[in-house]
Amino acid sequence: MSPVLLSADPDLLEALRAVLGPVRCAAALGQLACADEQVVLVDLGLRTGDPAELVREVRRARPGASLVALLGEGSSSTPAALREAGADRVLGLPLHAALLRDTVTEALELPTFEGDPRILRDLAGVAERGELRLHYQPRVDAESGAARGFEALMRWEHPELGLVSPGLFIPLAEATGEIVAMGAWALREACRQVAAWDALGLPRLHVAVNLSPLQFRGEGPVPAVEAALASAGLPADRLELEFTESLMAHDANAVIRHLQSLKALGTRLSIDDFGTGYSSLSYLRHFPVDALKIDKAFVDDLTRDTHASAIVTAVVVLGQSLSLGVVAEGVETERQAAFLRVLGVDEIQGYLYSRPLPAEEVPGYLSRTPISASAS
């Protein structure tokens, strides 16, 4: 959930931005965007008027929002009164900057962040500043090893830190909502790059781009996908979109509508990290998906743990009976690949065949590798 700080005090919002990085702020109730966001009311002590009344106003306007109130010292109200007025949680607002950051991080349920503070500080606007890159990891035919496509994986070329991996910044970008702009950039860049390779006469492989659950909020991913395809002049059937089962934790009906629209555009859809998330399989019947991607965790244990091979077998059978492709990712050894072939997996992605490659290394890779007949 992407949080919004609500405070009438611009200096306080500025101070919070300085310690927190790219958190959205609003000065008034009217500036809040969607109905179910997490709203954090800051500085209820210094505001003139009754803090409980402000909580009531926000609650009336945003019945579905999660409301956290940060109560400053000297407030005329009490935690009990604020909860009574509709706040879900009430925390004290400390004056010291470091404590302020910890408290607000907790209030916003931002992931605790052990990495370099510059990652959090500089994340806002990263797509607009041109610091994001895509690396392309080949997906190959399990039987023949011939290339079928790529997955586009985001990297951040930080001016001081160098290449930062998505494991470090995607969770933060999801917590702050920044991922929506970054994801739209990834769609545009992947489509542009693949169209540029087409123009060079390289084999016409498909490209898979990851979508965050946050991109399914509001108007959903369709406009960004359409814009990316149109500006590159790329046919929709060359684009695959990967999303995870966690998407179903949100408004399932809206998600299914968006997926159907993406399918109607002609893109392929796959479920990433399959088997690690939402446990109900019933949603699969309603998802217009083309492929399941088996998570690396199961592949890792495949050759030493009978449970892992039982799970992979079950996913393959499930995929085949629903006429879905099955892709295994994180394949590092020939033994794992041999096992997966026997189990009937269609495509393999992993260091065994190739690491994710910077775009400029892709033409060389394609010149050395067999190309699947499914590419044109």
List C-alpha distances in Å: 264 to 9, 101, 191, 222, 224. Answer: 47, 45, 18, 10, 15
In the complex with ligand C2E, which residue's Cβ is closer, 30 or 167?
A: 167
For residue 351, the partner it binds in Mg ion, ligand C2E, none, with Cβ less than 5 to 8 A by kind, is ligand C2E
Give the C-alpha separation, 284 to 289, whole Å: 8
Q: Pick from 210, 270, 309, 372: which binds ligand C2E (CB under 6 A)?
A: 210
Q: Pick from 22, 72, 149, 350: which binds ligand C2E (CB under 6 A)?
A: 350
Kindly list the strands in the beta sheet with 89-92, ordered across the sheet, starting from the edge strand earlier in the chain.
24-26, 3-6, 38-41, 66-71, 89-92
In the complex with Mg ion, which residue's Cβ is closer, 77 or 210?
A: 210
List C-alpha distances in Å: 306 to 273, 300, 327, 350. Answer: 19, 12, 20, 21
**Contact mark string toward ligand C2E, 145..184, x via CB under 6 A:** --------xx----------xxx--x--------x---x-
**Contact mark string toward Mg ion, 186..225, x via CB under 5 A:** ------------------------x---------------
In the complex with ligand C2E, which residue's Cβ is closer, 37 or 273?
A: 273
Q: Which of residues 253-312 bind ligand C2E (CB under 6 A)?
A: 272-273, 296
For residue 213, the partner it binds in ligand C2E, Mg ion, none, with Cβ less than 5 to 8 A by kind, is none
Q: Which of residues 306-325 bind ligand C2E (CB under 6 A)?
A: none
Q: Which of residues 117-146 bind ligand C2E (CB under 6 A)?
A: 137
Q: How far is the CB of 34 from Mg ion (least distance, A)?
A: 26
Q: Strand pairing of 132-141 and 347-349?
A: antiparallel
If one asks whether residue 273 binds Mg ion (CB under 5 A), the answer comes out as yes
Give the C-alpha separation, 356 to 327, whole Å: 16
For residue 72, the partner it binds in Mg ion, ligand C2E, none, with Cβ less than 5 to 8 A by kind, is none
Residues in the chain: 376
Do residues 21 and 120 make contact, with C-beta atoms less than 8 angstroms apart?
Answer: yes
If one asks whether residue 239 binds ligand C2E (CB under 6 A), the answer comes out as no
For residue 350, the partner it binds in ligand C2E, Mg ion, none, with Cβ less than 5 to 8 A by kind, is ligand C2E
Minimal CA–CA distance to 356: which of 232, 225, 208?
A: 208
For residue 154, the partner it binds in ligand C2E, Mg ion, none, with Cβ less than 5 to 8 A by kind, is ligand C2E
Give the C-alpha separation, 247 to 24, whole Å: 22
Classify 10 as helix, strand or coil. Answer: helix
In the complex with Mg ion, which residue's Cβ is closer, 43 or 240?
A: 240
Q: Which of residues 328-347 bind ligand C2E (CB under 6 A)?
A: 329-332
In the complex with Mg ion, which residue's Cβ is closer, 198 or 295?
A: 295
**DSSP-derived secondary structure letter, 46:** T
If one asks whether residue 141 binds Mg ion (CB under 5 A), the answer comes out as no
Instruction: Output the six-digit token pair for 157.
Output: 């070329």
Q: Which of residues 229-268 bind Mg ion (CB under 5 A)?
A: 242
Rg, Å, the chain Cα set: 23
CA angle 132, 138, 141 (to 5 degrees): 155
Minimal CA–CA distance to 289: which of 328, 344, 245, 254?
A: 245
Instruction: Output the six-digit token pair for 135.
Output: 């690396």
Q: How far is the CB of 352 from Mg ion (least distance, A)?
A: 16
- Please provide residue 147's backbone torsions phi and psi, each rounded to the nearest 5 degrees: -70, 135
Do residues 199 and 233 make contact, with C-beta atoms less than 8 angstroms apart?
Answer: no
Do residues 38 and 58 make contact, with C-beta atoms less than 8 angstroms apart?
Answer: no
In the complex with Mg ion, which residue's Cβ is closer, 236 or 297?
A: 297
In the complex with Mg ion, which residue's Cβ is closer, 24 or 139?
A: 139
In the complex with ligand C2E, which residue's Cβ is closer, 163 or 342?
A: 163
Q: Give the footprint of ligand C2E on this chain (CB under 6 A).
A: 137, 153-154, 165-167, 170, 179, 183, 186, 210, 212, 242, 272-273, 296, 329-332, 349-351, 356
Q: Give the footprint of Mg ion on this chain (CB under 5 A).
A: 210, 242, 272-273
